């Protein structure tokens, strides 16, 4: 058994055993990562061409009911200046994206809990009416099945809920005791059943992660078959219990992107902001490793610095039109361009 043959098996069969995944994560070298990136890039180009879908993120609130040990906006961090954007501001954020050919809006916040669901349903309806034909993605955490159904009925199209770790012991080391992996996985199953295009995902290099926990993640994603996978490096935040843990590596994150593309060829796979935080050209390297989505930030500049999930998070310091032009230019440098449209799974 060697890494390159396992990557070939993954491409042929779309699956590996838990033991094979563990071996791959514990044994891969730079040459194996480059080989995986070449295979993943070829697969992505065959399906999507050299086009990148863009989604405009609006980080509408940094209030959160949870206390995850890695997150800069965790409930007990009293150094955060909390904010909630009004519906009017959110609509204007989306309008700035709409005027620059963004057709998918991602509404992201801390975990809001049940009390905000009715209001978010109304907001989704307003966005769908104001921007006909747009797609709305939500990333607002764990809710009940009935609450997810209400959001879907209101018009939400997609839902992002990173599982963070599919290994129960590892998950418990990242979260307070009241947060259970079982509940998070049940939420993901409910989202799929209700009809959302559903995204899960992991942080590479999170504290206490190892080849065996990563193998659990790969087996879970292999079987769950998400429409979206969010893969980014762990980056510590100075005001959390994990402030002194080292960041995840660019190499591990790029390898995960490539493996996810090979495993699920049609999955929607972002090159995340955190990749760009690790290295200036990190998102472009993500595209070359198999990613096909980039998410420009539409959040007002006045509050972006208060949505710091980790240290040195990239902020958008220019108008949306300028940021999109800069993105077009950087993508052109590697032979890519922006695809105009919603960019639904299986499109």
* pLDDT tens profile 164-187: 999 999 999 999 999 999 999 999
Over 80: is that where the pLDDT of 315 sits? no
Cα(125)–Cα(122) distance, rounded to whole angstroms? 5
Cα(332)–Cα(347) distance, rounded to whole angstroms? 23
Place of tokens 């699956």: 15
- pLDDT given for residue 115 in this prediction: 86
The pairing of beta strand 228-233 with beta strand 337-339 = unpaired
Over 90: is that where the pLDDT of 224 sits? yes
66-234-274-340 Cα dihedral, nearest 10 degrees? -70
Cα radius of gyration (the chain): 19
Using an 8 Å Cβ cutoff, are 18 and 223 in contact? no
Q: Look at phi and psi of residue 195 and say left if phi exceeds 0, alpha if psi is from -120 to 50, else beta.
A: left
Over 80: is that where the pLDDT of 317 sits? no
pLDDT-above-70 percentage for the chain = 100
Q: Which of 173 and 313 is assigned the larger pLDDT?
A: 173
pLDDT tens across 189-218, in order? Answer: 999 999 999 999 999 999 999 999 999 999
Using an 8 Å Cβ cutoff, are 236 and 274 in contact? no
Using an 8 Å Cβ cutoff, are 298 and 56 in contact? yes
pLDDT tens across 34-47, in order? Answer: 999 999 999 999 99
Q: Look at phi and psi of residue 63 and say left if phi exceeds 0, alpha if psi is from -120 to 50, else beta.
A: beta
- pLDDT given for residue 1 in this prediction: 79
For residue 56, which phi and psi values (nearest 5 degrees)? Answer: -90, 120
Instruction: List the structure tokens of 276.
Output: 């760009």
Q: Which of 1 and 257 is assigned the larger pLDDT?
A: 257
Confidence of residue 284 (pLDDT cuts 50, 70, 90): very high
Confidence of residue 311 (pLDDT cuts 50, 70, 90): confident
**Angle in degrees, CA 255, 1, 224, rounded to 5:** 50
Q: Tell how far CA 19 is from the center of its chain.
A: 26
Over 80: is that where the pLDDT of 256 sits? yes
């Amino acid at each position: 058994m060697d890494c390159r043959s396992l990557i070939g098996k993954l491409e042929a069969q779309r699956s590996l055993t838990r033991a094979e995944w563990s071996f791959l994560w514990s044994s891969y070298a730079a040459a194996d990562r480059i080989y995986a990136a070449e295979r993943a890039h070829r697969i992505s180009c065959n399906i999507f061409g050299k086009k990148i879908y863009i989604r405009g993120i609006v980080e509408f609130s940094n209030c959160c009911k949870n206390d995850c040990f890695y997150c800069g906006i965790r409930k007990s961090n009293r150094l955060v200046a909390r904010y909630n954007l009004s519906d009017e501001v959110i609509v204007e954020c989306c309008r700035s994206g709409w005027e620059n050919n963004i057709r998918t809006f991602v509404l992201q916040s801390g975990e809001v809990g049940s009390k905000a669901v009715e209001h978010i349903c109304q907001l989704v309806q307003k966005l769908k009416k104001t921007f006909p034909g747009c797609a709305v993605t939500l990333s607002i955490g764990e809710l009940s099945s009935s609450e997810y159904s209400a959001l879907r009925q209101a018009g939400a199209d997609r839902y992002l809920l990173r599982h963070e770790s599919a290994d129960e012991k590892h998950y418990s080391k990242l979260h307070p005791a009241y947060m259970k992996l079982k509940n998070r996985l049940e939420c993901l199953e409910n989202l799929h059943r209700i009809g959302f295009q559903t995204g899960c995902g992991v942080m590479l290099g999170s504290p206490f992660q190892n080849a065996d926990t990563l193998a659990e993640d790969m087996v879970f994603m292999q079987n769950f078959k998400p429409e979206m996978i969010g893969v980014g490096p762990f980056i510590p935040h100075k005001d959390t219990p994990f402030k002194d843990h080292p960041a995840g590596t660019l190499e591990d994150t790029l390898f995960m992107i490539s493996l996810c593309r090979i495993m699920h060829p049609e999955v929607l796979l972002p090159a995340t902001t955190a990749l760009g935080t690790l290295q200036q050209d990190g998102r472009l390297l993500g595209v070359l490793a198999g990613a096909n989505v980039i998410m420009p930030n539409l959040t007002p500049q006045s509050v972006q610095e208060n949505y710091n999930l980790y240290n040195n998070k990239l902020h958008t310091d220019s108008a949306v039109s300028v940021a999109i032009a800069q993105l077009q230019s950087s993508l052109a440098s590697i032979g890519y361009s922006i695809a105009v449209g919603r960019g639904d799974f299986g499109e």
